[in-house]
């Protein structure tokens, strides 16, 4: 069942936001995600772009069970129907996904709904108006996950902090070496995939990211 995360309680969107990588081995994926959560990630987004739907549902269900054990929200990338079927805690929407207000109607008032805003402040303002829980800007730095992604500058993040009143997440190429500059720009959270899940010491890397917020 969906946990009762109140989408109006923006305080939950703070710190390290973990997004799962494409990974065929479910056991390894779950183990790495557990280390990320134990390292202090406040939320996990299940994201997979290469696996078939049956495998994705199996993986997402396993990640969701893990998150339930730790009391951490788990949301689904792009797939509103999968979120509804599995009763995950919400969904992250991209440029070509469903309307935020319609998704809110489907998933309910307490669902966490994130919106990718790339390098577009106006898009973030519209997402806020439509009822998004948080907005995400990026890629902040070059990223292997989305090599052609538009770049969101630190100046844009600072401007967004002045203009946007819901939590702001930065994503794209963030590592322990550059995260401090992003956090200093005023974002509420950083979303990390590669430099977290491919770290030699995943839990310790998560802890390092989290300490930068204090």
Q: One of 56, 104, 115, 116 is an active-site residue; which one?
A: 116
Q: What is the tally of structural domains in the chain?
A: 1
The answer to whether residue 5 is domain-embedded is no
Q: One of 47, 48, 56, 115 is an active-site residue; which one?
A: 47
> Which CATH number do you get for residue 113?
3.20.20.70
Residues in the chain: 214
The answer to whether residue 4 is domain-embedded is no
Residue 108 is part of which domain span? 12-211
The answer to whether residue 184 is domain-embedded is yes
Task: Indicate if 47 belongs to the active site.
Answer: yes
Task: Indicate if 146 belongs to the active site.
Answer: yes
pLDDT digit string, tens, across residues 72-87: 999 999 999 999 999 9
pTM: 0.95
**Mean pLDDT computed over 97-122:** 94
Judge whether residue 91 has pLDDT over 90. Answer: yes
pLDDT digit string, tens, across residues 3-24: 555 545 667 899 999 999 999 9
Q: How far apart are CA 25 and CA 18, in angstroms?
A: 18
The answer to whether residue 1 is domain-embedded is no
The answer to whether residue 23 is domain-embedded is yes
91: left (phi > 0), else alpha (psi -120 to 50), else beta?
Answer: beta
Q: One of 123, 125, 146, 161 is an active-site residue; which one?
A: 146
The answer to whether residue 149 is domain-embedded is yes
The answer to whether residue 36 is domain-embedded is yes
**Mean pLDDT computed over 25-40:** 98
* Mean pLDDT value across the chain: 94
């Amino acid at each position: 069942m969906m946990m009762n995360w109140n989408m109006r309680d923006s305080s939950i969107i703070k710190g390290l936001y973990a997004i799962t990588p494409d990974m065929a081995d479910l056991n390894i994926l779950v183990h790495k995600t557990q280390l990320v959560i134990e390292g202090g990630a406040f939320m996990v987004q299940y994201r997979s772009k290469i696996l078939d739907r049956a495998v994705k549902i199996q993986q997402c269900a396993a990640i969701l069970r893990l998150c339930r054990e730790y009391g951490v929200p788990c949301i689904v990338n792009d797939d509103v129907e999968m979120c509804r079927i599995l009763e995950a805690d919400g969904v992250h929407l991209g440029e070509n996904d469903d309307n935020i207000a319609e998704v809110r109607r489907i998933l309910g008032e307490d669902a966490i709904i994130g919106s990718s805003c790339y390098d577009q402040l106006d898009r973030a303002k519209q997402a806020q108006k439509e009822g998004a829980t948080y907005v995400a800007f990026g890629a902040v730095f070059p990223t292997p996950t989305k090599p052609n992604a538009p770049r969101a500058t630190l100046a844009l993040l600072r401007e967004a902090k002045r203009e946007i009143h819901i939590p702001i997440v930065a994503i794209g190429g963030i590592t322990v070496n550059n995260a401090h500059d992003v956090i200093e720009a005023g974002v509420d959270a950083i979303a990390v995939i590669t430099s977290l899940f491919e770290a030699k010491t995943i839990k310790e890397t998560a802890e390092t990211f989290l300490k930068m917020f204090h």
